[in-house]
Amino acid sequence: MDGRKMSLQYLDRITIILHRPATPENIGSVTRAMANTGFSRLIISSPETEDWRTAGKVAVSAAGILENAPKCASLSEALSMAAPGFIVGTTGRDRKYWDPVEIIEAAPAILSRAAFTDIALLFGPENTGLSNGELTLCQMVVTIPSAGSLSSYNLSHAVILTLFQIMMAAAPDKENPHQTPASFNSLEGMYTHVEETLTKADFLWEDNPDHMMHAVRSFINRATPTEEEVKMVRGVCRKLLWQMRDR
C-alpha cells in the first residue's frame, strides 16, 4: 500500500466543525465537499439557521452526512463531543497573535497527526470567521492563499479547498504513535491549573490577565503537548501551589 492510500484511511479521524454557519446553502455545499473528498464526520456548532430542508437539497446524495451531524449549542460542546487530540483553526486574514500556515504546507502534518489521534478542523461563520478567542483553542491555524483583492473565501469554497489539500497529502507518518497528544479537555484542565498557579504567584497582570494567558496558551499549543506532558505540567502546578499555600 503506498503512502497516499495509507494516509487516506485516516480521513475518518478528522471532524469538520462548522461554527455559527448562517446559510443553509453553504452547509449543504460543505457536506457535498466532504463526500467528494472522503470525509464523513461533521458537527454543526451554534447554527444561525434551522433551514435543514434547503441544506439537504443542496447536499443531494451527501444528505446523510448532514442528517448524522450533531447540532451543538456552543463550540465548547462541539469540541467536547469531538474529543480531538489536535485542533486546527482556519482564518482568511492576518491575525496579531498567530502566524497562519498555508494549507498546502499544513496538510501533510495534519494528515500525519490523524494517523494516531482525532483531529478537529474548525471553520467560523461566513461574515467574521473564527474570533481570536476561538483561535486560542487551536494548536494550529491555517489559511488559504489568494491572488486577488479578496483574501477570504466563501465558507463552502474554503472547506473544499482545505479538504482537497488534506486528501491529496501523502506524507509518511513520522510521528511516534506512542506519544498521544493531549485531548481538548486535558488541555483546558491544564490551562485552568496554570492560570491558578500564575495568579497565586502574582505573575498575571491584574488589569488584563487574559492577555498573558493568551500568550501562555499560544506557545504551549505550538508545542502540541502529550497527555504525559500535561500531567507533568499539572504536577509542577500542584507543587508550586503547595509551596505558596501560606501566601
17-42 pLDDT per residue, tens: 999 999 999 999 999 999 999 999 99
Mark which of 140, 168, 196 sits at the end of a domain.
168
Q: What is the pLDDT of residue 67?
A: 94
Q: Which domain holds residue 29?
A: 3-168
Global pTM reads: 0.72
Q: Which residue has the cell 491529496?
A: 168
The grid cell for 136 is 486560542
Mark which of 168, 199, 217 sits at the end of a domain.
168
Categorize the per-residue pLDDT at 247 as very low, low, confident or very high, splitting at 50, 70 and 90: low
Whether the CB-CB separation of 119 and 14 falls below 8 Å is answered with yes
Q: What is the pLDDT of residue 225?
A: 86
The DSSP line for 20-88 is S---HHHHHHHHHHHHHHT--EEEEES-S---HHHHHHHHGGGHHHHHH--EESSHHHHHHHH--SEEE
- The enclosing domain of 116 has a CATH number of 3.40.1280.10
Q: Are both 70 and 155 inside the same structural domain?
A: yes
Q: What is the pLDDT of residues 44-99, one digit of tens each?
A: 999 999 999 999 999 999 989 999 999 999 999 999 999 999 999 998 866 666 77
Determine, yes or no, domain membership for 225: yes
- Cα–Cα distance list, 113 to 12, 87, 127, 162, 206 (Å): 12, 11, 30, 16, 38
Residue 113 has pLDDT above 90, yes or no: no
Q: Are both 37 and 69 inside the same structural domain?
A: yes
Q: What is the pLDDT of residues 144-184, one digit of tens each?
A: 988 877 777 899 999 999 999 999 885 444 555 456 778 88
Q: What is the pLDDT of residue 176?
A: 53
Q: Are both 161 and 190 inside the same structural domain?
A: no
Enter the DSSP assignment of 128. T
Q: How many domains does the chain have?
A: 2
The single-letter code of the amino acid at 24 is P
Determine, yes or no, domain membership for 174: no
Q: Are both 85 and 122 inside the same structural domain?
A: yes
Q: What is the pLDDT of residue 42?
A: 97
- The enclosing domain of 198 has a CATH number of 1.10.8.590
Q: Are both 8 and 76 inside the same structural domain?
A: yes
Mark which of 138, 168, 198 sits at the end of a domain.
168
Residue 137 has pLDDT above 60, yes or no: yes
Q: Are both 101 and 208 inside the same structural domain?
A: no
